[in-house]
Amino acid sequence: MSDSDRMILLRDMITDLDKGRDDEVEKAWIEESARRYAELKRGKVQPVPSHEVFANARVRITCRRRRSG
């Protein structure tokens, strides 16, 4: 088998493997999103504005960097 044929075969095999993973990951995220949306609609959780989420994430990242650095 030529090098170019082997490369094509390898690319096709990797694409097949990745597709299965992508489908599984997508399915898991759809299920998780549906669960979270249902919790929100039932009032079990309260939404948090994105600016608060990102501000909190920045603080946590900064604290970790200071502790490890």
Give the pLDDT of residue 52. Answer: 97
Give the pLDDT of residue 19. Answer: 76
> Are 45 and 39 contacting, i.e. CB atoms less than 8 angstroms apart?
yes
CB within 8 A of 39, min separation 6: which ones?
45
Interval 29-69: pLDDT, tens: 999 999 999 999 999 999 999 999 999 999 999 999 999 87
Q: What is the pTM of this model?
A: 0.54
Give the pLDDT of residue 38. Answer: 97
Give the pLDDT of residue 40. Answer: 95
Residues comprising the chain, all counted: 69
